[in-house]
Structure formats: C-alpha cells, structure tokens
Structure 1
Amino acid sequence: MASAAPVTAQSMTLRVATYNAELDRKGPGLLLRDILAGTDDQITAALTVIATAKPDILTLQGFDNDVEGHALRAFQSALAEKDHAMPYAFAAMPNAGLVTGLDMDGDGRTGEPRDAQGYGRFTGQGGMAVLSRYPLGEARDFAPFLWKDLPGAIPPSRDGIPFPTAGAFAIQRLSSVAHWDVPVQLPNGTNLHLLTFHATTPVFDGDEDRNGRRNHDEIAFWQRYLDGALPFPAPDGPVIIAGVANLDPVDGEGRRAAIQRLLNDPRLQDPEPRRTGKIAVGDTGQAGEPALDTVDWPEPSPGDLRVSYVLPASDLDVISAGVFWPADGDPMLDTVNTASRHRLVWVDLRF
C-alpha cells in the first residue's frame, strides 16, 4: 500500500510599501489630465519606481483625490501597462483642502489653504490611496475624528487660550490628511490590517506650535488605537503601519517623543529599512543613520531625514526591508529623483 506524502504548509511572501509620490497638482482634475496624457515625466517616473519595486500592497501619499476616483483608476491602468497590475484600491475623501469657513491658522483671514481641515488649495489635494494585488475588506476611515477627542492630546494654545480660538479647535479634525485601517484579504485567509496615514509637517507655524503638536498627536493616534482607547474597537488581526509620519526620531524639528514611542512599542517592530544604493559622502552630515533616510530634502535645512515608515506587528515574520534609493551613478537614480523627493520604503513579510 502506497504511503501518503506529508502535507506541508505553503508559505507566501508579501511586500508592503509606502510611497509619498508627491503627485498633487494645483487644481482639481489636473492629475487625471496628466495621467491620461501619458507624457508627464513625473508620473512616468513614479510608475516606473512602483513597477520596479513590485509591492503587493502600497500606500500612496500625495495623490489628489476626486469623488469618483477617476485619477486613481487611471493610475491603476497605467501601472498595469507597466506589467505590475494592482487591481484593488481604496481611497476616501481626505481632510486636505476640506473647507471649514473659519480662520484655522490665526492669521485673521479665511478661505486660504491653511484654513481647511488640512492644508490644501482644493478639497482632496494631496490625498492618499491604497493599492493592492489582493482584495480589500471594509475600511475604517478615521478622518472625521476630532483632535480634542484624542486621549492625551496636546492642543495648541497661546497664553493659555486655545489657538486660534476655542470654536476653531472644537471642530478641528486630528488628521491633516487621513488615518485609515484597510483590511487586506490574503490568500491564506488572514486579514492584515493596513494602518496608514500622512501626518502634517511639524514646522511652518508660530510659537503656539500648532503643526508640531498636531504631528505629535497624529502619530500618537496609532498607539491609542491599538490600546483600544478610542471610540472604536482595536483591530482584530495582525497589523502593519505604513505611512508618512513626517518626523525623524533623531534629526530635524518636531516633537520626536511621538515617533520614538511608536518605534519602541513592543507590539510593533522596526525593520530599519536601508537604502538600496551606496550612500554618497555628502549625505552623512546628520546625527541619525543616513542609510535609514527616506527623503532627499535640500540641505542644510532640513536635509535628508527618515520620515516614511513601515512597521509590522512584532509577531509578523520580516525577511527583508529596504528604501528604494539607488546609488549615485545608477541610471535609475534619475528616475527616482524625477518622481519625488521621497523614496519608496518596503518590507517583505513571510506568511
């Protein structure tokens, strides 16, 4: 009698990436126009970066949102033409450019980009999207969540008075763009909770430190969410945070305690993705490890920093990680520079 062969579990490798492609435009509909034209060098370069990195799941920042998702579908089609189809997508209207009718930055004027719920010349400018090779479940959109409702929030004030006014802060949403929990349905039956966001820059404000405090609390949101301390339940499966914190744990301005706490949270792990190319001599002038930097901002201020992160749950199996940043002399570096000042960051997981 023939003996049965042993049954072994099939493993799969999953690449999760985050990329601030800086594809925002100065008016509604312009991004769609540029994608459909097929002649925009920046868009072509961004598509090439993504198709070369080949993520299975991608959080995309700096991507203008339109109500019916025309630009996102056009971008998916263009990516498929690059032989890297990502047929599943999620996007929701962000806080960026969402009109409030109030003076939100305290300059005595209304109707300006900084008077929106999040900076934006029009509603949806510089929004976010999630692209995936695998089906997506029902997402949680935390964009409407109010800043004042975050436990432990550090609201802006001047001389002990809420900034710019108590009324303005009462309607101020926490997310400058958005916070989302997007479940990804993997072939092995796992629902991986993709936690993504794009925090405000911690500069460009006054002594009230409105942006610095908001950046801190946007990062702190995820720990409160994992704690179950918010008005909605914590995620019920494995998580991975992938997005733009806009804060370096060592260099640059900002309240660094927020990102340091997140990186040291025992429920998460930091794979410390590093540049794929050799570091140029001129890129080593700051206190932090330059190989970990994810953005090429002009020096001396702020210079290269680590601002984009992919942080899997501590019990997930990480097998590799990297920052898509070719070395000087590599022909791909011109493409990467044309696409964005930011670099695509990826982590490979084994399930």
Structure 2
Amino acid sequence: MKRAVLAAVAATAVTASLAVPASAGPATVRLATFNASLNRAAEGELLADLSTPDDEQARAVAEVVQRNRPDVLLLNEFDHVPGGAAVDAFRRNYLAVGHNGAEPIDYPYAYTAPVNTGVPSGMDLDNDGRTGGPGDAFGFGQFPGQYGMVVLSKYPIGQVRTFQDFRWADMPGALRPDDPATPEPGDWYSPQEWAQLRLSSKSHWDLPVEVGGRTVHLLASHPTPPSFDGPEDRNGARNHDEIRFWADYVAGADYFRDDAGRAGGLEPGEPFVIAGDQNADPEDGDSVDRAADQLLRAPGVIDPKPGSVGAVEAARTQGGANADHRGPAYFDTADFSDESPGNLRVDYVLPSLVPVRSAVFWPRGELSRLNGASDHHLVWVDLLV
C-alpha cells in the first residue's frame, strides 16, 4: 500500500494547486475506459516515447480522449513507471496539446501504482521446465509494469484500496486450473505455487472519486485474456475469477483483504462504477461461459449498453468470425482478428448510478483514422451523480 500511496502522491503533487470546480446539486459526470495499447516491448520505452511530443500513436490516443472528454478515465495497457513520470509526460506533451482541431484537456488528478505484470514469481507457472520467463511472472509480462493502468481525473481521488497481492487461493470456490494429462484434479499448479499465486494479472483498484460532495468508487481492473494457454485453460479460469472479484466485492463478500491489510468488500449502498477491459464478451470469444455475466448481473449494476454504428459497419465489412457471432455487433468495443475471435464487447463501464447516455467511440468518416490508435475503442457513460 505504501508503494501505491507514494505513486499517487507523486502523480498528484504536480497539479495539486489546480482547483476543481465545486458542483451544487446533481451533476452529469462522464466516466470512460480505454485500453490505449500504450505498452512497449522493453522497460523505459514508453517514457522515452512520451517525453517528446512526436509519438504518432500517443497523439492519436490523446485526440481520442480530447474528442470524448471524459471527466474520469481509466487507461489500460499504459506501462507503469514508478513515480508517475510517464503519466505526467502524457498529460504535458499530449493531452495538454490540441490535436487536429480537438481542444486540449486537463486532468489535475492522476493515480497509478505497481501491477503484477512482469513481476518475477520464482516459480515455473507455465510448466515449460524453466523459470524467469514472462509466463512465470505473477502476471504475464516482459518487465515489471508492462500493460499497467492509470486513472486520470478532473475530481479528487481519495484513499485507494489496491489488491495487487491478493492470493487466488483466498477466493472461495476459485477455478483452480486442472492439467488434463494427469489424474489429479486442479493440479496445473503445485500446492506450493497455488498458495502463492496472485489473482490479479495486473491489479484491482478501488478508487474513491469525490464528485460534487459525493464519493463514487471507481473499481478498475484489466483481467488476463482467456487465451494463450492450453487445454488446462489456466488463463480462462483466471480471467473468470478476476471478473468475479468485483461481482463479489460489490455484493459485500467479506473474504477480501487489500494490500494494506484491511478486510472486507464495498460497504452497502456505496455508489460504484466497474470499469476496464475485462477480456470477456457476454456471447462470443474464448472466455469461460458467462464470465462477463458475473458483472452484468452483479447486485446494483446497471448495464447502459453503449454501442456504435461504426462497430456494426466494421463487423459487416470485415466478415470472418464476425458473421457467426451470437452477440450484436453494435455493442462491440474491440477490433480483433477477423479469423478468430472477431470483434467483441470486452470493455465495460458499469455503474450503480443512473446512466444518462453512453457510447462506444468507433467513428466513421474522417475521424475513422483514429480507429487505429488501439485495437480497443474508448467506452464512455454519462452519469447523474
């Protein structure tokens, strides 16, 4: 927790003197999630790219943000740099500069913290006979912090709860992966590995955001893709349980313990928004059956069902796996391989508050040039707070 606090202080101190307008009575607030694919192959590359205003992809990501103008934004796949240097560089060199006629946007508050990707476990978690590879880290990654997360906000962020170290084995009824080549059930991981393995492939964060005198809990995460494994489906099982984490958390389950040692889930009646790339579609793709439904049907959750005509057009023109999908293309948020799995709805903003309007930013026409910024699309929801 101390690491998370230091990261938050470092990211916030730069702009702590900037005032956020007070709101009298109910306010409409836009919350968004965007897997921006701002990850790089080696440690330090993202910071180097963001330290100048010349990175083409970062400019496109910034323009997407500027054209949608969320008040609170979760960015997935933003490599974590201790101290928040990459976050500050992105705000200064990209968000604070208008792109192609879009107005600059300012986020006085930011939060970032360590994640499990690339953190060595010292164990052979992928069972390839070696240790130390990206598949043996607590979350798949070439270096600590790859595929990290950051939250940008126009409103103050309170004391954050992080669950980076929460053990998978401490979730009651966890889907323990099974090696089908052996007779013992649930034995892909040895007992010693299972006792140490962390649930979050990145982390789970509960960020209390102060909006108009009211605290709204942004529940941020980015579960592992349910693929890139074998018949044991270890990533599918982990994806399912990473998604389940928030469903249990908002339901008031008491088995949680955060990185500071505090026990319990969300207090009853506390408003929340579950956000992030969940890597699971309700109808299609490779996730465990109904993994996404754990959130869509969780207590208090309202699904605003954001969509776009652009996604419908993309599914029709790309064809391939999209032609056989059960779910409506209108709700797709990610443009994946046409052969498999096709385009999917994997990015969510799910509030307990009343949604006013929502959308997936999948533009057509001149702005379609921004669709290449990432293989995901920004999803936003306007809430009455």
Match of 1:212 among 231, 236, 251: 236
C-alpha RMSD over aligned residues: 1.4
Over 3 Å counting, the alpha-carbon distance change for 1:265 and 1:278 in structure 2 is closer
Where 1:257 maps in the other structure, the secondary structure is: coil
Percent identical: 44
Where 1:62 maps in the other structure, the secondary structure is: strand
Q: Does 1:80 align with 2:96?
A: yes
Q: Output the CA distance in 2 between the equivalents of 1:152 and 1:167.
A: 18
User: Runs in 1 of length 4+ with deviation above 4 angstroms?
Assistant: none
The structural deviation recorded for 1:276 is: 5.4
Q: Output the CA distance in 1 between the equivalents of 2:242 and 2:265.
A: 17
Give the structure 2 partner of residue 200 of structure 1: 224
Where 1:299 maps in the other structure, the secondary structure is: coil
Q: How does 1:319-330 map to 2 (within 5 A)?
A: 319-327=356-364, 330=365
Where 1:298 maps in the other structure, the secondary structure is: coil
Give the structure 2 partner of residue 4 of structure 1: none
TM-score of the aligned structures, taking structure 2 as reference length: 0.85
How many residue pairs match? The answer is: 337
Q: Which amino acid aligns with 1:233?
A: G
Q: Output the CA distance in 2 between the equivalents of 1:156 and 1:11.
A: 46
Q: Output the CA distance in 2 between the equivalents of 1:234 and 1:266.
A: 13
Match of 1:59 among 74, 77, 87: 74
Q: Contact 1:151/1:224 (CA < 8 Å) preserved in 2?
A: no
Q: Does 1:298 align with 2:337?
A: yes
The unaligned stretches of length 5 or more in structure 2 are 1-23, 99-103, 257-262
Give the structure 1 partner of residue 277 of structure 2: 244
Q: Output the CA distance in 1 between the equivalents of 2:168 and 2:294.
A: 19
Deviates more, 1:121-130 or 1:77-86: 77-86
Q: Contact 1:23/1:43 (CA < 8 Å) preserved in 2?
A: yes
Q: Output the CA distance in 2 between the equivalents of 1:15 and 1:276.
A: 20
Q: Which amino acid aligns with 1:21?
A: A
Q: Contact 1:162/1:169 (CA < 8 Å) preserved in 2?
A: no
Match of 1:271 among 304, 309, 315: 304
Structure 1 residues 261-291: Cα deviation after superposition (integer angstroms, max 9, x where no partner): 3212241010100015473222552211101
Q: Contact 2:176/2:186 (CA < 8 Å) preserved in 1?
A: no
Q: Does 1:168 align with 2:184?
A: no
Q: Output the CA distance in 1 between the equivalents of 2:49 and 2:30.
A: 28
Where 1:258 maps in the other structure, the secondary structure is: coil
The structural deviation recorded for 1:154 is: 0.9
Give the structure 2 partner of residue 341 of structure 1: 375
Over 3 Å counting, the alpha-carbon distance change for 1:266 and 1:140 in structure 2 is closer
Give the structure 2 partner of residue 191 of structure 1: 215
Give the structure 1 partner of residue 127 of structure 2: 106
Structure 1 residues 11-32: Cα deviation after superposition (integer angstroms, max 9, x where no partner): 3110000000011011111111
Give the structure 1 partner of residue 53 of structure 2: 38
The structural deviation recorded for 1:107 is: 1.0
